A = this chain, B = another copy of it.
């Protein structure tokens, strides 16, 4: 027995690195035993809580991340700082003055303007969707509170968010250009709770930033019913946001150095910042937790051929500043593939890879090792996520491990984005998927090449 153990031990260094990274065995171990992703998610959401970009909280989260990543044994752990315009949420409230006095639950959108301190009183003019607002003459809107509603259904692939989020990002600027006093939108969300969904909006260059806020879906339906009575609806609105100049944010970087520096970097991660209403559990503590837990499993199994670079990006929510800063600093390095986890922590159901060669055997190997987790191959384009898109644009392959989005927009950008919404079993499935994928990506003898500029998926 002793002899066999000694032989095993002696034999280990002779194994090539790739043998230590048996994707199926690593996948199954993660699926059955991973607790690291939960521990990171629990720790970050408990010991830091919300992490609004460029705030003291986000700075604390970077220190927390550095300490944790170093303790886990990663190499080259560091903060890469950058600056960005800081926006602070103040108080926001909406009250129906007539015909039926009552309060409505709202949350200001990121970069919303403010009302005067005493607030504003104005009539509501309602639109069903962005096209209706676009078609309306300025005379119907000037001086009014624009209200835009919609009909969002939950979809596994999150498609309805893509279709409707311009109501948040574009409608406020459009309303401002037509002279609106303010704008309220129905939250871009699928729940029925009294928790408005915030999110960033953008006012075109030269357009005044008007007060812009989201009603909870419940309050939007209340306003719909009030409007349906056919009487003029007058609101009192107070929104007190602040733009306080440029402030510091940063990306936190850690690595599993590969044995072959020429084989290209695998860039993975999620974003460390969050909106300020919840504790950023599914958006995106779980993203950094899943990718880090998977990389840790590869590291512990032996040195991979390719370097795995984990980035906990800063300032994603408010405009993707962390992803831009990373690409500016590192875009000239050779990245073989970029991939991000930023769609919660429900089960991965689909693999998508954007790469140059049709029938790349590495993609086949990825498909095979992910199939036992219930993951099927998608033929749509891989998007990568806000944080890695600027790097992908420098010319890299992109991989998506797509998560079930049916619950995601119940919670996204609300006060309800908290730890209790994370399902530990589905979180482990995510870690298993990322571990298996990294085991292939980090060691495969072939390479994923960048897609042609117009690629829409492999």
Contacts and interface: CB of A to CB of B under 8 A. Distances in A.
Contacts of A360: none
Interface stretch (A119-127, A151-159, A189-197): A189-197
A49 B194 contact: no
Contact of A420 (B47, B56, B218): B218
Interface in A63-110: 99-103, 105
A194 B415 contact: yes
B46 A193 contact: no
A49 B225 contact: no
A385 to B, nearest CB: 26
Interface residues of A, number: 35
Interface string A42-53: 100111111000
Contacts of A103: 49-50
A193 B217 CA distance: 15
Chain copies in the assembled complex? 2
A56 B229 CA distance: 22
A123 B222 CA distance: 41
A415 B416 CA distance: 13
A333 interface: no
B42 A194 contact: no
A218 to B, nearest CB: 5
18 contacts: A42-B225, A45-B222, A46-B100, A46-B225, A46-B226, A47-B100, A49-B103, A50-B102, A50-B103, A192-B421, A194-B278, A194-B414, A194-B415, A194-B416, A195-B195, A221-B419, A222-B419, A225-B419
Interface of A: 42, 45-50, 56-57, 60, 99-103, 105, 192-195, 218, 221-222, 225-226, 229, 278-279, 414-416, 418-421
